[in-house]
Amino acid sequence: MTAAHEGTCLCGAVTAKILTPQRHFGACHCETCRTWTGGPLLAMDCKNEVSFTGEENISVFSSSEWAERGFCKHCGTNLFYRLKANQHYSIPPGLFKDLGDIQFSDQIFIDSKPDYYQFANETRNMTGEELFAAYEQSS
């Protein structure tokens, strides 16, 4: 069994613990993520298998009808994107020092990606419409 991974924000006030280590991550190119991070959001799908210590140091912003974003209220580190309906988390892999052999696998809202950057990795790419359709089918 693989051990859980722990990572922290820049100032160390918040620790995130992934209960089931992830082997892949993706990029979101939607306008909201690009505004929030200054570029695409890189994140691992952690479902609800994540816990935090220092929760009193987390601020949460409701960014849409369906999602909210968490960040450290001291240093501003982006901590998570969370779906409101099922508390499903996406966590930036950059919070963790060593995730081992993790792969860049998916890009979403590829139709919103600006022309000024391009990843070289081969990934599965989905438009916003394709993503919402897939989510509705899995619900």
Q: Write the burial class of residue 123 (CB in 10 Å: 0-12 exposed, 13-18 middle, 19+ buried).
A: middle
pLDDT band (50, 70, 90) for residue 4: confident
Residue 83, CA distances (Å) to 2, 55, 90, 125 in order: 26, 18, 9, 21
CA distance 5 to 20: 8
81 and 43 in contact (C-beta within 8 Å)?
A: yes
Provide the residue ranges of all domains of the chain, joining segments of one domain with +: 5-138
Cα distance between residue 73 and residue 80, in whole Å: 13
Average pLDDT estimate for 28-56: 95
Count of CB atoms situated within 10 Å of the CB of 118: 7
pLDDT of residue 138: 64
- The verdict on domain 5-138 having CATH code 2.170.150.70 is yes
Per-residue pLDDT reduced to its tens digit, 100-121:
889 999 999 999 999 999 999 9
119 vs 134: which has the higher pLDDT = 119
Who has greater pLDDT, 101 or 139?
A: 101
What does the pLDDT look like over 45-100, one tens digit per residue? 998 899 999 999 999 999 999 899 999 999 999 999 999 999 999 999 999 988 88
Report the predicted TM-score, pTM, of the whole model to 2 decimal places: 0.89
Which residues, including other chains, have CB under 8 Å from residue 99's CB and lie 6 or more apart? 5, 21, 22, 93
Residue 91: name the closest of 11, 2, 4 by CA. 4
